[in-house]
Amino acid sequence: MDLLSITPNTTFLALKHPATGEDIGVTVELRSLESDEVKAVERMIKNKALKGGRNTVTAEKIDDNAAAILSAAIVSWSFSGDANLGGDKNPACNDANKRKLLSVPPIAKQIDQALGDETAFFASSANG
């Protein structure tokens, strides 16, 4: 096996209602935290921090940086049934809407947990 061929794929996450565990009608396609797209956002955050000097970190900035990383990991989504984002049943998968989705803590937590499951990003490449 060529070790250089081991690269992550995307994976899909069906979002669940935090109280019932039932599907809420939204499926999110996620890219690995090791993907070039997510790494680029992480480098941008680090570069800003290095340029900012000392004592520029705030709780709000940390939260914003975490949201930026989660947002970069979202490739696409599909909404079905009654699921909507602020009344929009077919929201564009853009940065503003990703931030809206991630502003719901239980959803952001589900996405964060799915991103921590590294094997999920390699499952289909191991089979193929």
Residue 23 in any domain: the answer is no
> Which one, of 31, 30, 37, lies nearest residue 13 by Cα?
30
Tell me the C-alpha to C-alpha distance, in Å, between residue 40 and each of 3, 15, 69, 101.
23, 26, 9, 22
The DSSP symbol for 82 reads T
Q: Is residue 16 part of a domain?
A: no
**Residue 67 structural domain:** 31-119
pLDDT digits (tens, 9 = 90+) for 74-87: 999 999 999 999 99
Does a structural domain hold residue 86? yes
State the total domains in the chain: 1
* pLDDT the model gives residue 49: 82
Q: Is residue 6 part of a domain?
A: no
Residue 3 forms part of a structural domain: no
Give rounded-to-5 percent helix, strand, coil for the chain. 50, 15, 35
Given pLDDT bands bounded at 50, 70 and 90, which one contains residue 128?
very low
How do residues 27-81 score in pLDDT, each as one tens digit? 999 999 999 999 999 999 988 888 876 667 788 888 999 999 999 999 999 999 9
Specify the pLDDT at position 102: 97
Please name the amino acid found at residue 70.
L
